[in-house]
Chains A and B, each alone.
Chain A
């Protein structure tokens, strides 16, 4: 007697649990697997691309004169007499355009983020957000065209310089292209600061500017830094707009109104018509490796800075 109920009960209890369990376990496994794949796919792709780029460029490494490659400004890859593969001027070009773009974009981007997040409400806020997002949707070839045919004559007329496609022109475009990212990321970072901070600040008698400057900026600095670095990434990697607006000249600039040439634009302009496997082709892939390394260093530095800030 005492046995029976348990025998009846246990399957009655066990069956539904087991059934749900089996399906759930299976479903769980599948979904887990999928999510795992998504997670590692980024790593697989990054390494795959790096491997491919490196493989295409590697045969030239043996012949490469590293000192000439990094420090010479003589980029004459198609010479019939003596080809020269110096990317010094191109590295300077990329770094100078990116730096100037950030000098312009950071105050604008963060300022706009603070304004959108803290100072405006209602319709203004919505309109501003939509318009800024719209700015991010403009294709880079359109920016390049604006640089080449609209901004170039304006720069010549306003700044009295001989050429309008130059470092400044490209940096302006890159600034405009990276501002939308900074604004939306920066606004998110500011939004993440708890309202109790704002209430406490106001209760202590702080003005709105004091609140932003003394409370919100320190509280949101990690997020704001991430916003700026995303902008930097956008600026380094941009190709089409800088190809059209920098002037694309192998030149170490003396002033911000000199034409320059970037690493990305060089690859874009020359890879299409270079015969597969030639030294020129391999060197262009090595430039790809250099770009990869620059991006990696920027990201790593960002990581360390953010960690450093956290420790404090």
Chain B
């Protein structure tokens, strides 16, 4: 079901791109004259992070109703691809799920004499879910790596000190994960398992964020990760500590905002220099209450309320 939704969003994104390409062809001449006549549209090339592509597409689609003169063309490819687009001028707006590197900043200065301008537009935070009857309440990042990573050896709940899960059959930890090309999978791998490490094979790879939580809620032996917004009454979110001895932090919007929760990262927009007025208007809209609605509905954590 989730896949179908993603497909839908994708189709919309593709359609937006297609319309955009068509319009660039005929709209160019008028733009030079300053004020475009009614019906002509300005295009914004918005490239970057695959994690953000669904969110960006949802924004682009909704923005069509807000400002009919601007078409946002969304494309994925990765955060690096988006920033590269800024460097060589093929993107006006880059989506990135990481900070711009100093090297890239310097390159932008050198190539285009422009400073990168950064906007935080939302947060990506993953919760660790277990069944509601599981007595476990907290976990460290190291324990998570040992459970999920190929180099780890933890396969039983007793190894984590959990001996009696009501309703559980046996001691085995059932690892619930995501399909290997989802942004959530990539981020969890990067943040928890390790970039040079692999996932342990044999995890249950669900095809949507909601399916992960659904399955954990039905399986007392299971542990899983998914967006913070997907919690339901049959699961419990674990508190997470960076390492043993550190305080355990409950996943929450506040803990994401003050950066104490370890499995969360900001999501950025980057522009090369000051954005053009129509683009500035779009960025401001995505950060407004109206735009932040879509952050929540696509499973991410919105900005702090002003």
Contact = CB atoms under 8 A, between A and B. Distances in A.
Interface in A150-201: 152-153, 156-157, 160-165
Contacts of B201: 73-76, 89, 249-251
Contacts of A249: 201-205
B7 A165 contact: no
A103 interface: no
B196 A77 contact: no
B215 A156 contact: no
Interface residues of A, number: 40
B24 interface: no
Given A78-B181, A156-B220, A160-B169, A165 B196 contact: no
B214 A79 contact: no
B211 A244 contact: yes
B1 A141 contact: yes
A148 B215 contact: yes
Contact of B218 (A78, A149, A243, A259): A149
A270 B179 contact: yes
Contacts, number: 98
Nearest to B175: A249
Contacts of B211: 148, 244
A156 B198 contact: no
Contact of A269 (B3, B172, B203): B3
B158 to A, nearest CB: 13
B181 A273 contact: yes
Given A80-B195, A249-B202, A269 B219 contact: no
A161 B169 contact: yes
A290 to B, nearest CB: 19
Contacts of A79: 198
Interface string B161-205: 000000111101010000111100110000000011011011111
Interface of B: 1, 3, 6-7, 10, 50, 77, 167-170, 172, 174, 179-182, 185-186, 195-196, 198-199, 201-207, 211, 214-215, 218-222
| Nearest 4 interchain pairs by C-beta | A162-B221, A269-B179, A273-B181, A251-B202
16 contacts: A76-B199, A80-B196, A141-B1, A156-B167, A156-B220, A162-B169, A162-B219, A162-B221, A163-B204, A164-B218, A165-B204, A248-B205, A250-B201, A251-B201, A268-B207, A272-B6
